[in-house]
Amino acid sequence: FPLPWFCCHLSRGCTHTHTHSDTHKHTARSTNPGQKQQVVHICSRTRSCDVVGASRIFCWLLREVSGGWLRQRRFWFMLTADSLDCYSGPERDARRLSMLVLTSLCSVLWPDKHTYKQTGYWSLTVYGRKHCYKLFTKHFNEAVHWACAVQKVIDSKAPVETPTQLLIRDIEENKFNPEVVEHIYQHNPILTYTQSPLYAPLLPFPYGNMAGKGYTSVREEAVRLFNCLQQLESAPEPVPLIQGILQTSLDLRPLRDELYCQTIKQTSVTHTKTTTQTEPNPQLRYWQLLTCMSCTFLPSSSVLRYLRFHLKRVQSVCVDSEVESYAWFIAQALEKTRCRECVPSWEEIQGLMSRQEMLCTVHYPGPGCCRIAISSHTTANEVHAQRLRLGLQDSRNTFALFEQRRSYGCPADHWERVIGGGTIIADVITSLSVKEPDSEWRLCFKLYCLLDTDNISTDSIEYLFLYEQCHEMVIRGQLPACEDDLLSLAALRLQAVQGDYSALAPFPALEQVFPARVLEARALLTPADPPGCPPPFPAGLLAGALWGHKRREEQDQRLRARLREEAALATAAILERWKALSGYSRRDSMAAYLTIARQWSGFGCTLYEVDFYIVSHLCPVDFALCISLNQQSSCLNHYTPCCPKPC
CATH number, domain of 379, equals 3.10.20.90
What type of residue sits at position 213? K
Residues 402 and 510 both lie in one domain: no
The last residue of a domain, from among 475, 497, 513: 475
The last residue of a domain, from among 127, 155, 183: 155
| pLDDT at site 280 | 64
| pLDDT at site 44 | 41
CA atoms within 13 A on the CB side of 367: 2
Residues 596 and 609 both lie in one domain: no
Residues 181 and 324 both lie in one domain: yes
Query: How far is C-alpha 10 from the chain's CA centre?
Result: 52
C-beta separation of 267 from 290 below 8 A: yes
Residues 346 and 411 both lie in one domain: no
- Is the residue at 494 inside a domain? yes
For the purposes of burial, counting CB atoms within 10 Å of the CB of 533, is it exposed (0-12), middle (13-18) or buried (19 or more)? exposed
| pLDDT at site 204 | 95
Distance CA 442, CA 463 (A): 22
C-beta separation of 432 from 440 below 8 A: no
Residues 443 and 421 both lie in one domain: yes
Helix (H, G, I), strand (E, B) or coil at 233: coil
Distance CA 490, CA 511 (A): 10
What type of residue sits at position 275? T
Distance CA 95, CA 114 (A): 34
Number of domains in the chain: 5
Residues 401 and 545 both lie in one domain: no
Residues 620 and 574 both lie in one domain: no
Residues 285 and 304 both lie in one domain: yes
Q: What is the DSSP letter of 605?
A: P
Q: What is the DSSP letter of 191?
A: G
Query: How far is C-alpha 244 from the chain's CA centre?
Result: 15
- Strand 439-449 with 358-363, pairing: parallel
Query: Measuring CA to CA, how many Å separate 68 from each of 65, 72, 173, 597, 628?
Result: 8, 10, 56, 83, 72
- Is the residue at 337 inside a domain? yes
Distance CA 490, CA 514 (A): 6
The last residue of a domain, from among 123, 155, 187: 155
- Is the residue at 80 inside a domain? yes
Structural domain span for residue 76? 2-155
Query: Measuring CA to CA, how many Å separate 171 from each of 164, 266, 385?
Result: 10, 17, 43
- Is the residue at 62 inside a domain? yes
Distance CA 361, CA 443 (A): 7
Contacts of 497 (CB under 8 A, 6+ apart): 508
C-beta separation of 626 from 638 below 8 A: yes
- The CATH code of the domain that includes 125 is 2.30.29.30
Residues 143 and 91 both lie in one domain: yes
| pLDDT at site 437 | 54
For the chain, residues with pLDDT lower than 50 are: 1-31, 33, 35-54, 273-276, 408-409, 412, 617-624, 639-647
- Is the residue at 480 inside a domain? no
- Strand 132-137 with 369-374, pairing: unpaired
| pLDDT at site 647 | 39
pTM of the model: 0.77
| pLDDT at site 7 | 37
- The CATH code of the domain that includes 510 is 1.20.80.10
Query: Measuring CA to CA, how many Å separate 607 from each of 437, 446, 453, 477, 630?
Result: 28, 14, 15, 12, 10
Contacts of 605 (CB under 8 A, 6+ apart): 450, 628, 629, 630
**What does the pLDDT look like over 283-321, one tens digit per residue?**
899 999 999 999 999 999 999 999 999 999 999 887 788
| pLDDT at site 20 | 40
- Is the residue at 190 inside a domain? yes
Distance CA 233, CA 338 (A): 28
- The CATH code of the domain that includes 183 is 1.25.40.530
What type of residue sits at position 432? L
C-beta separation of 431 from 443 below 8 A: no
| pLDDT at site 24 | 42
Contacts of 572 (CB under 8 A, 6+ apart): none
CA atoms 325, 331, 332, 336: torsion sign: positive
- Is the residue at 613 inside a domain? yes
Distance CA 127, CA 100 (A): 8
- Strand 96-101 with 83-87, pairing: antiparallel
Q: Where do runs of H (alpha helix) occur along 174-217?
A: 178-186
Residue by residue, what is the 3-state secondary structure of 87-111? Answer: ECCCCCCCCEEEEEECCCCCEEECC
Residues 318 and 175 both lie in one domain: yes
Residues 455 and 333 both lie in one domain: no
C-beta separation of 195 from 160 below 8 A: no
Residues 438 and 490 both lie in one domain: no
- Is the residue at 535 inside a domain? no
139 C-beta neighbours (distance < 10 Å), count = 11
